[in-house]
A = this chain, B = another copy of it.
Amino acid sequence: MGLTKTAQFTDEEILLARYAKALGHPARIAILRVLLERKACICGDIVDELPLSQSTVSQHLKELKEAGLIQGDIDGKKVCYCINDQVWKQAQETLSLLFQSYTSCDSSCC
């Protein structure tokens, strides 16, 4: 069916999965790296950094935007992208907590 049965899970599980899913493609990781390595926003020229067509990059940007991880403000004929400070920190925190909740198996394990 391909449709995630979202109703059955907690809000936190859904949110966490949304952030992770947005990060779940090499192109989007690459896009974020470009946004991260410059300290300021990027106006345009993201496409030039990636081995994908303009429309495909635009689609990936849209997904990152929909997950909230980045924002894009219109600035003349270009669009100014940058990391969304709040959401980025929230994603960091939530994912961090998941990973930190792990403690090694005890001796009775596998």
Contact = CB atoms under 8 A, between A and B. Distances in A.
Contacts of A30: 9-10, 13
Number of chain copies forming the complex: 2
Interface in A1-19: 4-6, 8-10, 13-14, 16-18
A86 to B, nearest CB: 11
B82 A105 contact: yes
A47 to B, nearest CB: 13
A20 B17 contact: no
A80 B105 CA distance: 12
A36 B85 CA distance: 29
A54 to B, nearest CB: 15
Of A18, A26, A91, A100, chain B has the most CB atoms within 10 Å of the CB of A26
